[in-house]
Chains A and B, each alone.
Chain A
Amino acid sequence: MKYADEFRDKEIALGLAKAIRAEADAGRAYRFMEFCGGHTHAISRYGLEDMLPKNVRMIHGPGCPVCVLPAGRIDMAIRLAERADIILCVYGDLMRVPGSQGGSLLKAKARGADIRMVYSTIDALGIAEENPGREVVFFAIGFETTTPPTAVMIRLAERKQLENFSVFCNHVLTPPAMQNILESPDIRNIGRVEIDGFVGPAHVSTIIGTAPYEFFAEEFGKPVVISGFEPLDMMQAILMLVRQVNEHRHEVENQYSRAVTRDGNLRAKEEVSDIFELRDQFEWRGLGQVPYSGLKLKRSYAKYDAEIRFGMNELRVDDNPACECGAILRGVKKPVDCKLFGTVCTPETPMGSCMVSSEGACAAHWTYGRFRDHQQRRAS
């Protein structure tokens, strides 16, 4: 497969693995957080852990939009979808995300709510055009990568004068979340988590560019290497991080230069800033309320804002107290540290959000990597 196989080449991977082993100082640990779920998935799917030396450890970050969506937002969507006049359009991986009391969009659909799985924002617009007598709401979710398509959709709806279309906006921003992690007591004061550097977002950075990360590198003294999602990208980024740590540098470096520039996609950024504005704060599962981390529609686009249009009330739901998703998303715990992991919480019956999306730390470890837990147990 062209443009993919080149970045999955075994020989080059072995070469990079050798370089990492050679350059990593055996006398110290290297703990790197990969921010994105796409990275987490690649690490697990290609078995990257097997190729890294023991003292280079990857910590899975909060960069899976499905995983950080709080249960209250799911409950809000379910409540909306239960209205007879509503068609709710969602991306497929949202369907099984647990809300409160075992609810999910999938179960609401089975009970009769009109919830449609779509693959793109254009599909949702099409449904609105085909159903002029119904209200069509698009459940918008994702980081900076998926926000521009939502913006374009709203523009198109405006141009087509669609009166029955709106957006339930759950778009969130990467930099405030990274800052929140670095400022959390776990890292700053207690020192429970040591992070020696970040593997920075791939697709998000195609939009926002590398410049927004310069602040972290400087302020927190942590190296950031923007990396693509292919396994060779990851190996190279890890090697670049090892080198920065060894050389006591903390810079923003761009491994994913075939797609990412310093300034990002200006046109996309413009579209987003025309239509969206910052919320004062937004709740992230695992991180709690994070200031200026979420987007909402500007007042001038209020008629496309489902929260206003349908008077949706903010719902807050506490996570299952035994669920460790929060600590896992902050890198404080590993999936196996959670009592629910693999017992009552599996991809078939997810209790926590990290088990839902294949990009979630728990789902990725369960699906691809859990054999290692048994190997380790045997070895010890």
Chain B
Amino acid sequence: MRAYQRKLDIRNGCVDLSHGSGGRAMAQLISGLFHEAFGNEWLARGNDQSAFDVGAGRMVMTTDGYVVSPLFFPGGNIGSLAVHGTVNDIAMAGAKPLYLSASFIIEEGFRFADLKLIAESMGQAAREAGVHIITGDTKVVERGKADGLFISTAGVGIVPDGLDLSAENARVGDRVLISGTLGDHGVAIMSKRQNLAFETEIVSDSAALNDLVARMVEAGGRGIRLMRDPTRGGLAATLNEIALQSDVGFHLQEEAIPVKPGVAAACELLGLDPLHVANEGKLVAIVAPDVAGTVLAAMRAHPLGRDAADIGEAVADDHHFVQMATSFGGGRIVDWLSGEQLPRIC
């Protein structure tokens, strides 16, 4: 398997249709680039699937596609995002993420050097999150049929005994906690869009939240009703979803919601609401009022939860409104985002 006539020319070479054909070129790309970056015992066995032991308890599974544009953005790239996003979806069940799969759809002409950077970011993100990418797939499509690179990742994880976080669990009186500032990812991406480019120091918050979640579960146990990561549609979409699924409403305090000045300024300029802008390293937790203080303290003690805040509470409301007392002194609804704020944010 290792006896290729020539090494991949990472610096100058690029993907062509033969790299998706099932032949030797594809095998070389997979072993020379992906295995190298993800390096683990499962991939090393070279099977079309990977077997792993299943522990006791319930498992969770999730899948997600990544089509972000641009592929490289301040604070990350499509590779790290593809790991963080899937790890976070598993972690929101209170689960410990274990294994990921990764599927690549690559446009011919994509530079090996970029692919290597992206694969290495994935490998690093996986190692930091304590997960392994144990199976994958590579397809190459003609020029113009994909915008550079699309990645799909799926993941499995294991839920601690007795924990059942779910969107229908919010109860009237529960507190709404968020783990930090809102809108960083969306603004970082927008700042690099071709026809929108503006200068900002904001970087994406893309990060794996599983360790933060583990600390929160330790602190709050069953008092944590549910968690969500407010990605596309932002906090507004997440809370509106939960309100519907749990048959409650929410009352928020705008003053309590942390937003970086740079994000607020960019949103002001673009006519956006930070509550609609995507995050990739933040979570919303709905927790019973008696553990809210403990959970918040645990969040603030963690590097990814330093700016965590208690921003409001669940209330009885047949209309499932998410209402907010504005920092100006009036009241308003925090509605779903309508229409398309910006395509391909993740």
Contacts and interface: CB of A to CB of B under 8 A. Distances in A.
A174 B333 CA distance: 30
B338 A347 contact: yes
A10 B333 contact: no
Contact of A45 (B261, B329, B332, B339): B332
Contact of B335 (A48, A96, A119, A367): A367
A22 to B, nearest CB: 17
Interface of B: 195-196, 261, 264-265, 268, 271, 319, 321, 323, 325-333, 335, 338-339
Given A367-B333, A367-B335, A368-B333, A10 B328 contact: yes
16 contacts: A8-B327, A13-B328, A45-B326, A45-B332, A46-B328, A47-B332, A49-B330, A95-B339, A96-B339, A119-B196, A123-B195, A346-B338, A363-B338, A368-B333, A370-B321, A371-B331
A119 B328 contact: no
A12 B74 CA distance: 38
Contacts of B327: 8, 10
Given A47-B326, A369-B332, 15 more contacts: A1-B264, A1-B265, A4-B268, A10-B327, A10-B329, A14-B329, A46-B326, A46-B332, A48-B330, A49-B330, A50-B329, A50-B330, A119-B195, A347-B338, A374-B321
B331 A47 contact: yes
Interface in A319-356: 346-348
A13 B329 contact: yes
A51 interface: yes
B338 A8 contact: no
Contacts of B195: 118-119, 123
A358 B268 CA distance: 14
Contacts of A370: 321, 333
A14 B326 CA distance: 13
Contacts of B268: 1, 4
A98 to B, nearest CB: 13
Nearest to B318: A374
B321 A371 contact: yes
Contacts of A81: none
A32 interface: no
A17 interface: yes
A366 B328 contact: no
Interface residues of A, number: 33
Given A1-B261, A374-B319, A348 B338 contact: yes
B22 to A, nearest CB: 33
A49 B329 CA distance: 10
Interface of B is mostly: loop
A228 interface: no
Interface of A: 1, 4, 8, 10, 13-14, 17, 44-51, 95-96, 118-119, 123, 231, 346-348, 358, 363, 366-371, 374
B330 A371 contact: no
Contacts of B264: 1
Contacts of B338: 346-348, 363, 367
B237 to A, nearest CB: 13
A119 B327 CA distance: 29
Contact of B329 (A51, A119, A371): A51
Contacts of A48: 328, 330
A363 B195 CA distance: 27
Contacts of A14: 329
Contacts of B326: 45-47
A371 B323 contact: yes
Contacts of A368: 332-333, 335
A366 B321 CA distance: 11
A17 B328 CA distance: 11
Contacts of A10: 327-329
Contacts of B332: 44-47, 368-369
Contacts of B335: 366-368
A270 B321 CA distance: 49
Nearest to B261: A1
Given A45-B326, A119-B196, A347 B339 contact: yes
Given A118-B195, A119-B195, A46 B339 contact: no
A123 B197 CA distance: 12
A371 B265 contact: no
Contacts of A367: 333, 335, 338
Contact of B330 (A1, A51, A348): A51
A358 B332 CA distance: 14
A78 to B, nearest CB: 18
Contact of B333 (A17, A49, A123, A371): A371
Contacts of B325: 47
B287 to A, nearest CB: 25
A371 B328 contact: no
A141 to B, nearest CB: 15
Contacts of A366: 335
Contacts of A231: 328
B294 to A, nearest CB: 31
B341 to A, nearest CB: 9
Contacts of B329: 10, 13-14, 17, 46-47, 50-51
Contacts of B323: 371
A118 B339 CA distance: 16
